[in-house]
Structure 1
């Protein structure tokens, strides 16, 4: 009764309301006690204090706090604590106490016969974390780290007169629940809160007092953690409101924080893990503390929810901000979490085994395979159901039914052997988008082994054990204790006639038979559980890849139960081996996409699929013009490869037909094709011919362009030669960038003005006696930053080049074949007078098959003939020609150029609309399916947001969308998807980008 009586008094304190002083009186206090003239006063939320935002005449900001008389002891404690924090961690932003005119940290004001304590604190800028709807993992980690720093800074703080106990302390949780549960009217919430109290109350009562103690904030909720936005990133800007600070269990602050931040989260356990890991890194916690963190979170969540119900029922005051539906939702959610899973989540995040018994169980199993009896008799053979498996070759990954049919066919083909599905394998039966715990990350990583045999096949116990009551979704559970300190369970699903609970089972004894199945062929799933199964509503068959390491700590590899055999082993990813091989055998300068690379397994249309079964929307790969794995191209390549593949010194009709069809897409006169293997070779050849024909060496280009990797074209590619020095024969001209350049979007003559710089360069070189051999350009600058050439740019340059005897080379390697929508070739978007002397092409020409060419006029070709015969061993081979020809047909038959025009503009319209809400977007530009989104830190200065752009690409990848930076400052998203990209794909991309920008990183 004494505890309950004391609790009632503390409950009265939090519901008593705040002192009521008029603004005029507050202004007098500020003037008389602090020498401040208040320019504005604004009330702030508070549970027990009258909080007021103050701005003085100089614009300085403060918080004036007026409290009740009974709070003086706690207030003096808080003032000493804030002074301690200022001294021990000056970088940790917390309010600082402003002394009154006498130098005292706390003063008072007389009100109705009471002396009300008064404090003035510095203002901490920022937005409450509670008002940030979507929170990135990086922000959550920063929050957890700030909380850990706060705990580390308060660890050494002592005070001779700490405040009295208050309502929210964890030792009072049972009394809080008892006093408030009767006011909860919703049965499900009441049952959930009761369950959490019953489940964890005794545990906390027994062990809470044993934990390390320290002075803690104790109200470190999402309203008292402030954040700021820097560019697209949000970070903690400060911690406020130390009104509940007191000495107690050190872990209390993290529990309070997590229970608040987890509200409303799609993945509350992931939030808890992220906070705990960051907190632990800043302030290392003991294993005992980590083991009690989840119970503390659960109990705190329950006490908040039931107290809110009591406040509502009794029409009390209290802070309404904490009475959200999300608080009740969290209680219901946590009540459904098995206790061992909650504990494991925290332990794993902080570098501990998911369960203390897991290492011993895994070690024993690995060392005792010889004593195990395979659960199903027969020859064992592993069946690969992962994304890299040959099983799924020829199957469209978007057809989940077809994937399952292919898997079933392969399993049945293994009979009479017993096909075994591997532990830890991400099965490729329903590809998903995300791997960050998001809602569409598939639960495809299997926690057991599947033994596929005919229905009715006997299943044997691999080890001696005792049958326990099965948990939901599992047909039989065997408890094993094979050695001191080793205790685990084996679980069997897919059985009929299972042994009864309580039976003692010998190794090799029949425990049931395989039941019929309607999903995959009949099989028994075998799992090992290192942790008790109390509280499990169901044991999962599969889990998301992002959580698989945690889950495999609870359900370790059961493969040793198959006995000593070499046919089956647990699944292991290839990414590590592949990366090591690249490091060993490829140059250090060889680039890879993303900080955390992806091991790709297959692709179809606009989507990639990695080895873990995740699907990625491809918004960056301009090589696969008509989509990955287009069936028509696959068939024609296979057919031609089986029929004939040789070189162009032999005569075959595929070469002739393709050359005719290809040149028909170009202006009249461009009808001689030099087949090569890459765009770099095509540009190299065009430059060589230009120099031979003009007897000149100098080349004029556009700055920041990229034209290839050979020695010749590297010398005309600023992104390459800037690393070793510009050759004297290369002459860059200004990038015709209407966003950053001298002439902007608002200048109707921008094209002519930028062109004049090129013409001036022609004349400068001629005046020096070194007129240029050629002008080399891209019709839309790719590596230069997705820069669209302004209207009227190329025509005057071409006219000037002809007058001065310079040849023109259109590099269409990246932008040709209808990609720009308006025309089949990029140069054609600049008008009918723009007809180059050479057109180079590659990349998309073969949809990923190595096909490239340079096309010129018969006159130029004959003038070059005296240099000798031209021949490329693989250029124009029959397979290349067959693929290239079919690609042209597909583009025409499927209306893909028109699709690029219409959907490309739709994509840019949607991206432009995002700019209204996200100031990081400085510019959106492009043509057809070649677009760029430029990110800047400041729209006025246009400072490139380079780091932010890379991070955005990483976050998009985590959500299943692939795009990558480009441009001189690497601050531009280059969008160049296959021409089969749909409006739905465009919506998918923009919605995901919107989410990333809104969430921050």
Structure 2
């Protein structure tokens, strides 16, 4: 052992030819002592009596949790004599850390009655440490990206703090040190019974141990924790967030390569993860931000992770040999699975994951190649003769129009047909394009090259001079076009006679386009660029998963210059990159978008959206598309009518009168005159105008927090609007009949009547002031007010009082009509037969997304308004709008969608309510039919709104492929208003996503 600056460095022994007995101390186990011994030590040495003891895991220490009569907790550590040196080192390190503000807790040494930091009792070393509260990261049900980032940052801060610690007598070498990984693997591999694991560990051993021999000794050395795994990192809730509370178990601390802690953490945290490389990247980025790593450390990190995983898995097999239930001291669940997985990950891919996380190019040679290609397209020979032109096979491609995006076979057939019919020129599939052949929640697969679709047998030429490095399964050429520039081109789908070592001139023959590959698309040659030595890879991917595409694009940069100096073909770029700046420039700042990162939607069908990246989203948000997006019957009738006639209502056409008749048939007798307009705001505006004209009054009574539209008139009766500029004197809000937050709750059977009394009192007050109201305007379920269901018995007494006061009643059904509430076709009908409004306004869902709206009233009221002159809306009631609206009514009836809203809507609320006992954040689940709300609170007693959390939940749900958004005065309520075609499977999908988001914390 040699020393540098007082810190020991151990020469690697990675050949596995000799086993040093010092590395075998792990097998000795902790000393065996009785509870009586522990109690005597605590009483005599620390004055702790009447304690409870609970054993804790330990590899070389006998660890016991101690709780005294006051509830104070400690950890008693009993160590064998062979660990004295390591224990003293640990004590000094903990004292060093105790003097620093780390932002998290570590154990502190508790001195005995004599002030000593440790005691010798019966030849054993005894230490008492403070107990660090928190649960092991291993027990966190889900680990959010924010929690992982916190873990990485804490690990980096810990590394920065321990790096400043020195000690004259560091501990002896330990079995788990990376310098001795070869010994650990050599000793353990013969005991691995699983052939797949043994093969994976042997592959990792052969691939990475030489790198450790070569580079480990050159890395920066510092004191490290050396066992920074998911059991020794503790987390606890801070409100609704999970954050690191402390780090424990410094028993293996020792001078070592500084990056060892991060490698150990990654090998532990990656186990069992759905996307382990993403976990590695998140942790590494946060660690690097707190404790910057050198490029040498970064490049050796992934090999260290693989070695650690293989060593843990193999050692576990050795220690478990002959034991029926394994070795209880080793919590290595998932190590074998991770070792098998990492053995199949090319070294360059693993390195790219951590390099990009630290802001470095995924591969140094690849970055150089991309820069050279971008500036030298003119010197390149196109791969095939003739003109090349791009074909759009992304989600926005015209070829998919008419195809059902839920059917991959239909999408593939549409793409194939478009390629075969393409012309003029040869079609080229673009680089970085999300292929819309199999939409997924995390995005469609992204192309890592260009694809030239050409007939089988078409000659393929070399873009540059190069040498063949591999001929199968793909043709790989190495190019060195300039000093310091070396890269590879990969040509798939080429039938070639070339062999490794052959030289090829620029423009020289590579072979011919091979026959179709059997994936359903026509023959083509795929061309990729990389600096990585892919000839050794078992397979070179030509597609990357959508959510992991950035990593792979770093390894396979844009090869479009290999098509030659042609401007016709460029790499795919997201629409949002171009559209958002223009949107911000031309639209008002107050025009919102959903979500922090807005979605560029390009398609929708039934209950699913599809964005330009080919991501699929469950729509639990959009009450406009009542019968589902792109309903074939509505699409067909709209196209046919638009091609036949579209004009205004001054002309006569059957579909107008047929639609009006069918629409009014859904309403109570007498409501049979329809004013067609374009939006719900216009419908409400017209109803208020008529009310004021007919009553010769101005005052309007509403429900607080309601929303009725954007025109001047209806904005003045919409609290969510006028609260920004001041309530007009003619508007009179009444209490929201909210049985969760309001004065009268779910436990009050007369809540409806009690809330109604406030409205009636407002009528009476206004009449007493000589200004009786013109109208009472209400939503049958408050949408913007927080998905508030009107309590039974609320509207009937209000309607009776309105009649006595001479006020007109306006039912705003813009959001809740057309069967959405399940119990009845119109929301006001759920309040009983005595509730028949003077006006019914409707819009939104009326045309399933096509702009159509209406206000319906009686003939008597209509005729009284005729004196004001003609009414005319240019586009209101146009033939296309009427044809769509009429067909929608038929679809709702024939497909039983109102009944589905009743039954499946209740099922949705039931499965969401079942989550409440598990998640304290859920305060209330309420709704009718397919109009539901989930209210989140920070405290169920105080009902403090969890506004920030609700918005974040929506963002997380979006990332999981589910769309919903906050509503309510405090924006702490999920508004659930999906298409009426929403199924129980959709409800289960939504509930599972919400459960996962709430479980992982943030």
Question: Normalising TM by the smaller chain, what interval?
Answer: over 0.9
Q: Deviations over 1:275-316 (max 9, x none)?
A: 111111111111111000000001111111111111112659
Aligned ranges for residues 192-207 of structure 1 at < 5 Å?
A: 192-207=200-215
Q: Does 1:500 align with 2:499?
A: yes
Partner of 1:873: 874
Query: Is the partner of 2:314 in helix, strand or coil?
Result: helix
1:26 aligns with 38
Q: CA deviation at 1:515?
A: 1.4
Match of 2:113 in 1: 101
Verify: 1:37 aligned to 2:49, yes or no. yes
Contact 2:951 2:966 (8 Å CA) reproduced: yes
Could you tell me whether the CA contact under 8 Å between 2:102 and 2:158 is conserved in 1?
A: no
**Contact 2:945–2:972 at 8 Å: present in 1 too?**
yes
* Counterpart secondary structure, 2:995: helix
- 2:185 match: 177
> Is 2:287 aligned against 1:286?
no
DSSP 3-state at the match of 2:234: strand
* Mapping 1:627-776, distance limit 5 Å: 627-776=628-777
Aligned to 1:49: 61
Give me the whole-angstrom Cα distance separating, in 1, the residues matched to 2:190 and 2:108: 42
Instruction: Report how far residue 616 of structure 1 moved.
Output: 0.8
In 2: Cα distance, 1:57 partner to 1:292 partner: 50
**Tell me, what secondary structure is at the counterpart of 1:603?**
strand
| Contact 2:312/2:332 (<8 A) preserved | no
Q: Find the aligned partners of 1:582 and 1:122 in 2 and give their Cα distance.
A: 57
Equivalent residue number for residue 438 of structure 1 = none
What aligned pairs does 1:526-925 form with structure 2 within 5 A after superposition?
Answer: 526-533=527-534, 535-925=536-926
Q: What SS is found at the alignment partner of 1:322?
A: coil
Q: Show the counterpart of 1:220.
A: 228
Deviates more, 1:424-433 or 1:76-85: 76-85
Partner of 2:511: 512
CA displacement at 1:326 relative to structure 2: 1.2
Is 1:145–2:146 an aligned residue pair? no
Q: Secondary structure at the match of 1:513?
A: strand
- Residues 462-486 of structure 1 show CA distances to partners (whole Å, capped at 9, x for unaligned) of 1111112245x42x11111111111
| Equivalence for 2:966 | 965
User: Once the 2 structures are TM-superposed, how far is the Cα of residue 319 of structure 1 from its aligned partner?
Assistant: 6.2
1:601-638 deviations in Å (ceiling 9; x for gaps): 11111111100111111110000111111111112112
Q: What is the CA-CA distance between 1:974 and the residue it aligns to? A: 0.7
Indicate if the aligned counterparts of 2:159 and 2:258 stay in contact, CA closer than 8 A.
Answer: yes
Deviation (angstroms), 1:196: 0.8
- In structure 2, the CA distance between the partners of 1:2 and 1:362, relative to structure 1 (3 Å rule), is closer
Tell me the distance in 1 between the aligned counterparts of 2:332 and 2:172. Answer: 28
Confirm or deny: 8 A CA contact 1:362 1:557 kept in the other structure.
yes
- Asked if 2 retains the 8 angstrom alpha-carbon contact of 1:7 and 1:172, the reply is no
Kindly provide the CA deviation profile for residues 756-803 of structure 1, in whole angstroms up to 9, marking residues without a partner as x: 111122222222222222111111111111111111111111111111
> In structure 2, what is the Cα distance between the partners aligned to 1:2 and 1:489?
34
Q: 2-side partners of 1:505 and 1:833: how far apart?
A: 88
SS in 1 for 2:914: helix
- Alpha-carbon distance in structure 1 between the residues aligned to 2:17 and 2:895: 79
Equivalent residue pairs, number: 988
CA shift for structure 1 position 231: 4.7
Distance change >3 Å, CA 278–CA 774, structure 1 → 2: same
Three-state SS of the structure 1 residue aligned to 2:95 is: helix
> Match of 1:365?
373
User: For residues 546 and 434 of structure 1, what CA distance do their matches in structure 2 show?
Assistant: 6
**SS of residue paired to 2:464:** coil
* Residue 418 of structure 2 is aligned to residue 410 of structure 1: yes
Deviations 1:833-857 (A, max 9, x none): 1111111111001111111111111
Change (3 A) 1:187 1:318: closer
Q: Which moved more, 1:656-665 or 1:229-238?
A: 229-238
SS in 2 for 1:477: strand
Mapped to 2, the partners of 1:720 and 1:859 lie a distance apart of: 33
* Residue of structure 1 in register with 2:265 after alignment: 257
Distance of 2:869 and 2:466 partners within structure 1: 83
C-alpha displacement at 1:327, in angstroms?
A: 0.9
Hey, what does 1:375 align to over in structure 2?
383
Measure how far apart 1:534 and its partner are.
5.3
Aligned to 2:303: 295
Alpha carbons 1:47, 1:319 under 8 Å: kept? no
CA distance in 2, matches of 1:5, 1:358: 38
2:3 — aligned with what?
A: none
Aligned partners of 2:197 and 2:531: how far apart in 1? 31
User: Are the counterparts in 2 of residues 498 and 513 from structure 1 also a CA contact under 8 Å?
Assistant: no
| 1:498 shift after superposition | 3.8
Give the match's secondary structure for 1:488. Answer: strand
> Which moved further from structure 2: 262-271 or 451-460?
262-271
Residue 416 (structure 1) shift: 6.3
Q: Deviations over 1:921-957 (max 9, x none)?
A: 2211111111111112222222222222111111111
Measure, in 2, the Cα distance between the counterparts of 1:5 and 1:121: 40
**Is the 8 Å Cα contact of residues 256 and 297 (structure 1) preserved in structure 2?**
yes
Q: Is the 8 A contact 2:366 2:531 kept in 1?
A: yes
The answer (yes or no) to whether the contact 1:369–1:564 under 8 Å persists in 2 is yes
Identify if the C-alpha distance between structure 1 residues 415 and 874 changes in structure 2 by more than 3 Å, giving closer, same or farther: closer
1:59 matched to 2:71: yes
CA contact (8 A) 2:446 2:546 kept: yes
Distance (Å, rounded) in 2 between the aligned partners of 1:560 and 1:433: 32
Shift of 1:34: 2.2
Could you tell me whether the CA contact under 8 Å between 1:107 and 1:117 is conserved in 2?
A: yes
**CA distance in 1: counterparts of 2:902 and 2:958, whole angstroms:** 26
* 1:738–1:310 distance in 2 versus 1, CA, 3 Å: same
Taking the aligned partners of 1:801 and 1:596, their CA distance within structure 2 comes to 47
Map of 2:992 onto structure 1: 991
Rounded Cα–Cα distance in structure 2 between residues aligned with 1:2 and 1:823: 78
2-structure distance, mates of 1:646, 1:686: 25
Distance between the aligned counterparts of 2:749 and 2:19, measured in 1? 75
Tell whether the 8 Å contact from 1:15 to 1:318 is kept in structure 2 after alignment: no
Shift of 1:868: 2.1
Aligned residue for 1:502, secondary structure, equals coil
The 8 Å contact of residues 476 and 535 in structure 2, kept in 1 or not, is answered as no
Q: Which residue of 1 aligns with 2:29?
A: 17
Residue deviations 1:154-184 (CA, integer Å, cap 9, x gap): 2222222222221111101111111111111
**Cα distance change of structure 1 residues 211 and 11 upon mapping to structure 2, 3 Å threshold:** closer
The structural deviation recorded for 1:580 is 0.6
Question: What is the deviation of 1:215?
Answer: 1.2
Q: Distance in 1 between matches of 2:389 and 2:12?
A: 68
Cα distance in structure 2, aligned partners of 1:2 and 1:522: 52
User: C-alpha separation between the residues in 1 aligned to 2:900 and 2:497?
Assistant: 59
Shift of 1:317: 12
Q: Which residue of 2 aligns with 1:439?
A: none
In 2, the alpha carbon distance for the partners of 1:355 and 1:90 equals: 34
Q: How does 1:331-370 map to 2 (within 5 A)?
A: 331-370=339-378
Q: Which of the numbers 230, 234, 257 marks the counterpart of 2:242?
A: 234
Name the SS of the counterpart of 2:915 in structure 1: helix
> How much does 1:262 deviate?
0.9
The DSSP-based 3-state class of the residue aligned with 1:63 is strand
CA distance in 2, matches of 1:842, 1:205: 72
**Deviation (angstroms), 1:535:** 4.2
**2:162 equivalent to 1:154:** yes
Q: CA RMSD in A?
A: 1.8
